[in-house]
Structures are given as C-alpha cells and as structure tokens.
Amino acid sequence: MNKRTINAAIKHLGVEIQNNRDGYSYFTGLVEGHQIGQSVYICYLNMLTLSEWIERAADAVAEDAALGEDRMIDWDARHPFVASDYNFSK
C-alpha cells in the first residue's frame, strides 16, 4: 500500500492523504489544501486496508462538512476554531 494508491481511491471524495514520519497521516482538501478531519495515527500506510482508508477519508469529509464552511480544524485536529475569528491577512 502506498500514498499514490490511497490517493487514487479517495480522489472522488475531494481529499488526499498526507503522511508524516512521526506516526500519523492526515487528509487535505484537493482545492483548499487545508487539513480535513482528524489525523490517522498509524505508523505505516499498509497497516490499514484500502477499504479502511476510504472509510477514514469519508469520515474526515463528513466531519469537516459538519463544522460548516467557515470552520477549520487546527493542526492537532481536536480543537475546532472559527476561521473568521482570526485575521490571516498580512
């Protein structure tokens, strides 16, 4: 199992997997590029089946949609915040 295979299988959900060497992976939106849903804490991509990766991606998309359009998830994916509360302009 590799990142290319997983991304091909979840592309229809509008996300792709990003993996880190610190034992977790996360999904990012294909359009916006921000993190979608919670991180997946797993050492190796092949520790989940392709079906499990698709399920995790669908869950992440549903979680992101439940937060609403003006909400994002911070880096550790546990504390939602409202993006409009912050000034991101330079």
The residue with tokens 């994916």 is 77
Could you tell me the mean pLDDT of each successive run of 10 residues in the chain, 90 residues long?
Answer: 93 90 85 85 90 93 74 48 55
13 touches 30 (CB < 8 A): no
Q: At what angle do helices 3-10 and 50-67 cross, to 10 degrees?
A: 50
Residue 76 pLDDT: 47
Burial of 51 (0-12, 13-18, 19+ CB in 10 A): exposed
Spatial strand order in the sheet of 24-29: 15-20, 24-29, 35-41
